[in-house]
Structure 1
Amino acid sequence: MSAPSERYSSVAITLHWVIAIAILGMIFGGWYMSDLPDGAPGQYFLYQMHKSVGITILLLTVARIIWRAMNPPPSLPEDMNGLEKTASHLVHLGFYGLMIALPLTGWLYSSVSIKLDVPTVLYGVVSWPDVPFVEGLKTETASGAVNFIHSKLAWVALALLALHVAGALKHEFSAEEGVLKRMLPGLFGKTSKPATPSRGAVTAFGSALGVLLVVAGASPVLSILSGSGQAVTADAAFAQNWTVNPDASSIRFAGIHDGNAFSGAFSNWDAAIQFDPNAPNDAEVQVTVSTVGAQASQKLYTDSLPAPEWFNSAAFPTANVEILNIASSGDDTYTSTARLTLKDITVDADFPFTLQIDGDQAQMSGQAVFQRTALDLGQSSDPNAAWVSEDITVDVVVEATQSN
């Protein structure tokens, strides 16, 4: 009686099935989400999850290739003829190529897509940058070509899978040495342990982790180099008589995204205020807000805000607001106009607020509503407000001390 066939290592078996199941799930999940109408509930989440799993497959493939190099697989059964062995090697080579090409083309499409021009945040936690130096591909034609290649690779994967399964079943149920038991120990017969002890787990998975850290680490480095921590100052030609307490003051925004409420805040801003409660119409208020450091309730939103179609912070690092036409309406309530200039676009919005003054201390709270379309926000990827609400609410709370 011949000795049992040698099986694959436990790590190789685990990586094989995890990656295989992930790729199949990605293919069918990709078809499903592509058929959804724009703005369908959960569609945005599905796109982000698709990208997250795709990058995970790429990282696991790095680990699998290194593991395979350090732990050669069992030899093919001796009863396989030369043509079958060649076909087996070619199919496996094709699979490794696909495990790299599928996520890479998906990453490239995400980087150059006009329709889905949103950042990638892996599982809502880790920022993943776009492919560098591909701005020239950000056209309808080029991004469409990349998407075509990415989608057709899914069919190539299914074709290779059919060949792979057919070959495995042929060897399992014909009068030959089966191969399924090597990847499914105990289900299709006995197998022996790998001929040599496994090695290289730290190297394989450490390399995958290293790729993650290096690539994902590019985003915060670029943020630091952009000067996002520089404090802004509201320069005004008029004499100021109130000083804002930044620790007790805030500018927050809110809206709806993919059917769910979101919120955020500008952490870096300054206001110049000249206000006399006895002559509110003579008041002068100027606010300067840094768009670079805006923080939202989810990391995905925070990463999206500096992008060209939103705040375009690289070209327009600040926004400016003037509070005009202040008039008292009684009982510590006032009406006014908030004139916002963002990306060289100026729009007005009603800004009613309440103001209580106690000695040299003042507390103000107010709210304005701005429309995205008027400010050219998100008009490339979501001009019809299918995902992000047209109205964005801005709530302002200010605590100030009279300075003279």
Structure 2
Amino acid sequence: MAKSRRHKIQLVAYSRGAIVLHWLIALGIIAQLVMGFLMVRAAPLAATTQESSSSFLTSAVVRTIQFAQQNQFFIFQWHKTIGILVLFLSIARIIWRLMNKPPEKAPMSAFEKITSDIVVFFFYVLMITVPVIGWIIVSTSPTQFPTRLFLLPDLVWPNLPLAIDSNTEQAAANAHALLAYSFVLLLFLHIGGALKHSIFDRVPELSRMSLIGKLHHKKTARGSVIISSLFALLLGAGALLFSHYNQSSTPAAATDAQQAPVTGTTQSDWVVDKQKSTLSYEVAFSGEPVSGTIGNWDAIIHFNPAAPQKARADIAIDANSINYGHPYVADSLPGTDGFDTAEYPQVRAVLDHFSKDQNGWQATGTITIRGKTRPLTLNFTYQENNGHAIIQGSADIDRLAFDLGRQNDASGTWLGKTVRVDLVLEADRK
């Protein structure tokens, strides 16, 4: 065993299991602190770097900040995944510590010993408390974005059985941030103490938490590897099974064929061929265009190109049939930050002013989403042959005008503000 040059005592390194868990948790915590900072500060920092000269910030730092801003949503999702991993690694670490008593410390003053014990105690408190509070934030958030571990669609982590409440979410978020800053203080004290013992006291303190070196490692208690690993794994597997059971037992949304048809109030002059007609939309997600579908809708059309002043179109959409090409957004569409389908089951567009110029046709009117009515302009082309018409058009909608996604992304950082709706209708004149 190695001897301290100053204290002439024998030191033993921690057990290998304790060392592995220590560094995995340490890396997880540091990654969480960095990601948490970028989640909150990426946008302001990106604005600052655009105004700053290269003499203040290196190009590598600027690129990192810009990357974080562009991928803020995915950083947030990885933040949740790593938080869950830190929680269960910490549970395994506590079980390991209970089964494997830490090796004796090098001689130190009473003040240093008390300080060291306090720092370690609060480390363990925060290692459990901070991830749990993060879990509370996700569970009580009105946005209800699912936690997909490692961004895998089928690996959904369950929320805690708590009421959805923005006040609780905000209080938990404040506590989460405060305790995260406390982690920084503890890391400073912990690293500073280890360096002080190694450099000034000439005690190989850093080697005690290393898998390599001359120090012998403390023997591992029998069964501690299996027990600590199984306990953490069983807790995690149980939570995932619970989430899967809840998802499978929740009645699935009705398919388009099962849903009640959306009908208007008057008879249409045209019979729309639903098999050949589509309503869809596109909105950017994390900088990339992503398409969405509209499954159940109906249109009542009065249109004669020879008499546009009498034209009118009434389009009704079942809000529950609106889907999106990314699962994170798709899952939140029916919720209170989406279309709030429990309160507002239908989206309705009424076009009552039609005109034509050299570029084609234009129809103006209103669209009502979540009980809010706003102006709508549809630009379209019209072709008719022997009573069969093909209409293709598009309209832009500001989602924030209807409070769609306002709670989760009012700035449009990862979900675009403009929604482009595309329409293709094939219909036969009655």
TM-score range relative to shorter protein: 0.7 to 0.9
Native 8 Å contact 2:13 2:215 kept in 1: no
Pairing of 1:1-400 with structure 2 (within 5 A): 5=12, 8-10=15-17, 12-37=18-43, 42-43=68-69, 45-46=71-72, 48-66=74-92, 69=95, 73-78=99-104, 91-110=119-138, 119-122=145-148, 124-126=151-153, 132-136=161-165, 138-139=166-167, 145-165=171-191, 180-181=206-207, 183-191=209-217, 194-196=220-222, 198-200=225-227, 201-215=229-243, 218=246, 224=251, 231-240=259-268, 242-256=270-284, 259-273=287-301, 282=310, 285-326=313-354, 333-359=360-386, 361-380=388-407, 389-400=416-427
Structure 1 residue 185 displacement after superposition: 1.4
Structure 1 residue 182 displacement after superposition: 5.5
Provide the C-alpha distance between the structure 2 equivalents of 1:396 and 1:288, rounded to a whole number of angstroms.
13
| TM-score when normalising by structure 2 | 0.72
SS in 2 for 1:264: strand
Letter in 1 for 2:27: I
Native 8 Å contact 1:63 1:208 kept in 2: no
Provide the C-alpha distance between the structure 2 equivalents of 1:239 and 1:369, rounded to a whole number of angstroms.
28
**Cα offsets for 1:318-357 (capped at 9, x unmatched):** 21123333456689x5332353121222233222222334
Q: 1:192 to 1:98 in 2, by over 3 A?
A: closer
Structure 1 residue 20 displacement after superposition: 1.2
Provide the C-alpha distance between the structure 2 equivalents of 1:312 and 1:175, rounded to a whole number of angstroms.
64
Structure 1 residue 23 displacement after superposition: 0.9
Structure 1 residue 120 displacement after superposition: 4.9
Structure 1 residue 311 displacement after superposition: 1.8
Letter in 2 for 1:337: T
Q: How many residues align?
A: 394
Letter in 1 for 2:296: N
Q: 1:219 to 1:245 in 2, by over 3 A?
A: farther
Native 8 Å contact 1:124 1:299 kept in 2: no
Structure 1 residue 6 displacement after superposition: 7.2
SS in 1 for 2:88: helix
Structure 1 residue 211 displacement after superposition: 1.9
Native 8 Å contact 1:51 1:106 kept in 2: no
**Cα offsets for 1:219-258 (capped at 9, x unmatched):** 6766x46768752422133334644444433222234456
**Cα offsets for 1:125-163 (capped at 9, x unmatched):** 446676553445x24xx6554333222212332333345
Structure 1 residue 119 displacement after superposition: 2.6
Provide the C-alpha distance between the structure 2 equivalents of 1:298 and 1:165, rounded to a whole number of angstroms.
42
Provide the C-alpha distance between the structure 1 equivalents of 2:139 and 2:231, rounded to a whole number of angstroms.
30
Provide the C-alpha distance between the structure 1 equivalents of 2:249 and 2:20, rounded to a whole number of angstroms.
34
Provide the C-alpha distance between the structure 2 equivalents of 1:210 and 1:270, rounded to a whole number of angstroms.
44
Provide the C-alpha distance between the structure 2 equivalents of 1:166 and 1:281, rounded to a whole number of angstroms.
79
**Cα offsets for 1:84-125 (capped at 9, x unmatched):** 8887665444333212211222343455679xx573554544
**Cα offsets for 1:194-219 (capped at 9, x unmatched):** 34253244553242133244347656
Q: 1:48 to 1:112 in 2, by over 3 A?
A: farther
SS in 2 for 1:254: strand
Q: 1:171 to 1:384 in 2, by over 3 A?
A: closer
Runs of 5+ in structure 1 lacking a partner?
Answer: none
Native 8 Å contact 2:291 2:324 kept in 1: yes
Structure 1 residue 186 displacement after superposition: 1.5
**Cα offsets for 1:264-298 (capped at 9, x unmatched):** 22233233445566656555543221223422232
Q: 1:118 to 1:146 in 2, by over 3 A?
A: same
Q: 1:92 to 1:218 in 2, by over 3 A?
A: farther
SS in 1 for 2:342: coil
Provide the C-alpha distance between the structure 2 equivalents of 1:216 and 1:188, rounded to a whole number of angstroms.
48
Provide the C-alpha distance between the structure 1 equivalents of 2:423 and 2:205, rounded to a whole number of angstroms.
67
Letter in 1 for 2:222: T
Aligned-CA RMSD value: 4.3
Provide the C-alpha distance between the structure 1 equivalents of 2:216 and 2:275, rounded to a whole number of angstroms.
69
SS in 2 for 1:306: coil
Q: 1:228 to 1:220 in 2, by over 3 A?
A: farther
